[in-house]
Chains A and B, each alone.
Chain A
């Protein structure tokens, strides 16, 4: 079956611009996660949705970052006034909302801020 998909696969933008990154989770997965991965580091948690609501947004670095999941399926990560330090691979994962649910990751979106 289809896995987690993310679009675009690559995004190059200029400092100060606004970007949107999209995640399509596996059908039926109610939990959705965003992570960010810098070069040479492990993924870093950003935000977790259970259904339509953000159950844990403690990893968002500042108020320039925002994510939505209006219908409990597709999610969009929005970054305002991008900075060079935002350059990273943004990973999305989804899982069934059960106690030991493994997370299935997408291929990521590589964001480069010039």
Chain B
């Protein structure tokens, strides 16, 4: 079955870059997503990447996809205290693009 894994915690200094990593098992995933959850709130879509792309950039966010290793990463440049949140990666299984399989989430803590 599908499985999505992330490290649980990441701590960075304000102004540095953050890299959040994710590994997945379904090599046939069509889309991979990054969601952000701020304290006490629901999840918000940050960005997504189609499986035939290697990289996608959106302002301070860079998504890298290594299909061979089934590895997805989210880089946040110039990390700010407002970026402190839980970040979830998610994949859509090939058999149902309306479903999402979520990772366990990575809690990003940004300190001054």
Q: Is A bound to B?
A: no
B: residues with CB less than 8 A from A are: none
**Chain A contacts to B: CB under 8 angstroms:** none
